[in-house]
Amino acid sequence: MKAAVRDWVRAARRIVVLSGAGMSAESGVPTFRDAQTGLWAKFRPEQLATEEAFRADPGMVWDWYQLRREMIGKVVPNAGHLAVAAFQQRHPGRLAVVTQNVDGLHQRAGSAGVLALHGNIAEDRWLDRPRACCTRASLEPGRPPRCAVCGNLRRPAVVWFGEMLPPAQLAAAQDAAAACDLMLVVGTSGVVYPAAGLARSTRGRVAIVNPEETELDDAADAVLRGTSASLLPYLLED
């Protein structure tokens, strides 16, 4: 079956790689709940990753995200990330990356145009709608930083519980899914929507790459039991 999927890759004019937490776990990225160590063990992630929690205690939530940023900063892209980026560079315009991960490992591996549906933990954005005064020049350091003029806070540029996915990113991902001949669903359990719905909406073939069973196995034309780091270099080689 691996050889068949590799043949599908070679024949496909447009490919989408839909990646989830399992792909980053191979690089050693701690899962959402693995970050609950030490001081944070008494909190559930769902208590911290919300707008309500941030507004109630911005310093505490900011510190938790700083810890996660430090953890992620110590890891590097694995062979799966590198294989995807190398394929993109050899075949411009043929492969789109859609990821549920916020760690930026696809980008660090060299992939361009990554559609990060849940944002990027390395980046910040304004908590409230920015006013004219909300500029880099007015930024005041702190935990978190804020606009020195109006007090608007900076927050991690990730999607929190209860928030909608970025409309432009989601629309682009839906367009890519609709247009692709092949979707490689890598390291995702398939339980988080609307990202999981992309695999069910595409008219192209779907190949699952995951060492474990997923909720999308029934929608797949092929299921490869293995990790992205072990399988993607083979599947994406010319």
Residues belonging to the active site: 118
- φ/ψ bin of 110: left (φ > 0), alpha (ψ from -120 to 50), beta (otherwise): left
Nearest to 230 by CA among 215, 209, 214, 205: 209
Strand partners, 224: 209
Strands 115-116 and 119-126: unpaired
Strand partners, 99: 19, 116
Per-residue b or e along 184-209, where b marks 16 or more CB atoms closer than 10 Å to that residue's CB: bbbbbbbeeeebbebbeebebbbbbb
Residue 223 near residue 56, CB atoms below 8 Å: no
Residue 77 near residue 108, CB atoms below 8 Å: yes
- Going 147 to 57 to 69 to 160, the CA torsion angle's sign is negative
* Residue 27 backbone dihedrals phi, psi, to 5 degrees: -90, -5
Q: What is the DSSP letter of 190?
A: S
